[in-house]
Amino acid sequence: MAVVTLQVNDTTVAVPAGVPLLQALAAAGVALPTLCHHPRLSPVAACRLCLVELEGASRPLPACVTAAAEGQRLRTDTPALQAGRRLIVELLFAEGNHPCAVCVANGDCELQDAARHVGMDLVSVPYRHPSRQVDASHPLFLLDHHRCILCSRCVRVCDEIEGAHVWAMANRGSATRLIAGLDQPWGTVDSCTSCGKCVAVCPTGALVAREDVPLGRWPTP
């Protein structure tokens, strides 16, 4: 495979031609927060946290789906990129309900990690405080829509690795939500193999194993 040379924040790196720019960032020792990206799943560039400025491009580009090419010069640390990442994280917190102190994923949450990475110590936009549901119909797992950030990792791992096709996104805009089957309670979807892969790749506390939840914290089916 051909190797290309490019510059990341003035650091010269060499990577295989055509790999995602995220690989070039890693070679340069630059880590960006990512929420929708997972190394074993197809990229979708949904969260936009990995946007970079590429010389000659008319707008910032997502590093997870932009291919590395010879001579590229890119920056990850401009004030505009940093402000944009922080705003995205703030909006994710404001759009859902994320009471970290009582969340089973507290301390092991990628949304928390992203907040620390961008230096978010408060949310500057109004909270929406949506009224959402908890699906406790599955005997092994729980789905809390309050904490879902619509990253689609669960959809992709179920489709691409398990092949069960349980999950999908329904509706549009602020009404978008994760659904199981044909918008059924998760525990009633016959195609679910109870493999737990969706739980394993969830970056927040939206999909969790029942055994990890303190008694009395969640409803029973």
Per-residue pLDDT tens, the chain, 221 aa: give them: 799 999 999 999 999 999 999 999 999 999 999 999 999 999 999 999 999 999 999 999 999 999 999 999 999 999 999 999 999 999 999 999 999 988 999 999 999 999 999 999 899 999 999 999 999 999 999 999 999 999 999 999 999 999 999 999 999 999 999 999 999 999 999 999 999 999 999 999 999 999 988 765 554 44
* Within-domain flag for 114: yes
CA gap 45, 40 in Å, rounded: 14
Examine the domain organization and report whether 131 and 34 are in the same domain.
no
Phi, psi of 143 (to 5 degrees): -120, 120
Name the nearest CA neighbour of 187 among 137, 133, 144: 137
* Within-domain flag for 219: no
* Within-domain flag for 218: no
Examine the domain organization and report whether 105 and 158 are in the same domain.
yes
* Within-domain flag for 203: yes
CB 25 within 8 A of CB 76: yes
pLDDT score for 220: 46
pLDDT score for 1: 73
* Within-domain flag for 157: yes
Q: For residue 37, what is the domain's CATH number?
A: 3.10.20.740
Examine the domain organization and report whether 56 and 135 are in the same domain.
no
CA gap 217, 219 in Å, rounded: 7
The domain of 10 spans 3-77
As given in the structure block, the two tokens for residue 213 are 């939840």
pTM across the whole model: 0.93
* Within-domain flag for 208: yes
pLDDT score for 215: 60
Among residues 51, 77, 103, the one where a domain terminates is 77
For residue 153, what is the DSSP state?
H
As given in the structure block, the two tokens for residue 47 are 């969260």
* Within-domain flag for 181: yes
Q: Which residues pair with 179 in a beta bridge?
A: 168
Examine the domain organization and report whether 120 and 180 are in the same domain.
yes
Examine the domain organization and report whether 100 and 44 are in the same domain.
no
Number of domains, the chain: 2
Phi, psi of 197 (to 5 degrees): -65, -40
